[in-house]
Amino acid sequence: MDLKDLRYFVAVYEAGGFSRASRYLNTVQSNVSARIQGLERSLGAPLFERQWRSVVPTDHGDRLYSQAKQVIAALDRVEEAFKGSRTV
Amino acid sequence: MDLKDLRYFVAVYEAGGFSRASRYLNTVQSNVSARIQGLERSLGAPLFERQWRSVVPTDHGDRLYSQAKQVIAALDRVEEAFKGSRTV
DNA sequence: TTTTTTTACGACACACGTAACAATG
DNA sequence: CATTGTTACGTGTGTCGTAAAAAAA
């Protein structure tokens, strides 16, 4: 599992759709679709149910969301801690 | 910053050397070296001082270590939570 | 027709392993 | 000579964006 996968997943979850998420992520729908599919495959569980104009998270998706936020928050803290210590 | 970077960093930190870390990571020294260099470049701070037969962490390295462990632990919890829920 | 997700495809970048090098004991 | 870290290099995987297809109102 990759961190970018989690960031893409969170974007889709919060945006409620792949195309909206792709705009937040500054990329195209196809990449978001591919990454989410790969994440679902690697986790072995569907994360969203694709419906007309609404992407609803599965139970797995809901559980992943809260955990993914924690991981991303932890990583953002790391990066934040190194802001301003540019010595190389 | 990539998660694999953090895993490589932790391995070097705990192994106390690049070649020992490469064995834990099932890869070669050159990859470990390149990844640590990339991580140092992206963070803008040196993480290790390379000395003869001893790789000692800098202060930045020490700080990164405790945080990296938290991030990795958080991610491992996510993956653990999905073990056994293989429905796809 | 408009908005969506998926699939196919070509191009490029990155990460890998092999191998050679420099340095230290 | 043995071991370590770095650098150079060729190969292949993967990720990207473009473009086309399919579905729904």
At residue A54, the pLDDT reads 82
pLDDT in tens, chain A (88 residues): 899 999 999 999 999 999 999 999 999 999 999 999 999 999 999 999 988 778 999 999 999 999 999 999 999 999 999 987 777 5
pLDDT at position A88: 55
Q: How many beta carbons lie within 10 A of that of residue A80, not counting itself?
A: 9
Chain A: give the shortest CA distance to residue B73, in Å.
Answer: 9
The band of B88, judged by pLDDT with boundaries at 50, 70 and 90, is low
Token reading at B34: 């390149």
**Across chain B, what does the average pLDDT equal?**
92
The whole-number Å distance from A30's CA to C24's C1' is 52
Note the helical H segments in B1-88.
Answer: 3-15, 18-24, 29-43, 59-82
Greater pLDDT, A85 or B66: B66
Query: Across residues B23-40, what is the average pLDDT?
Result: 96
**Which residues in 56-85 of chain B line strand D, with CB less than 7 A from it?**
none
In terms of C-beta density within 10 A (0-12 exposed, 13-18 middle, 19 or more buried), how is residue B27 classed? Answer: middle
Q: Is the CB of A54 under 7 A from strand C?
A: no
Interval B44-62: pLDDT, tens? 999 999 987 789 999 999 9
pLDDT of residue B22: 96
- By C1' distance from the Cα of A30, the closest nucleotide is C6
Q: How confident is the model at residue B16 (pLDDT cuts 50, 70, 90)?
A: very high
- φ, ψ of residue B56 in degrees (nearest 5): -105, 135
Q: What is the pTM of this model?
A: 0.91
| A57 beta partners | A48
- For A84, counting Cβ atoms within 10 Å of its Cβ (0-12 exposed, 13-18 middle, 19+ buried), the class is exposed
Residue pair B78/A60 in contact (Cβ under 8 Å)? The answer is no
Place of tokens 């961190």: A3
Identify the pLDDT of residue A21.
Answer: 96
Distance CA B55, CA B18 (A): 8
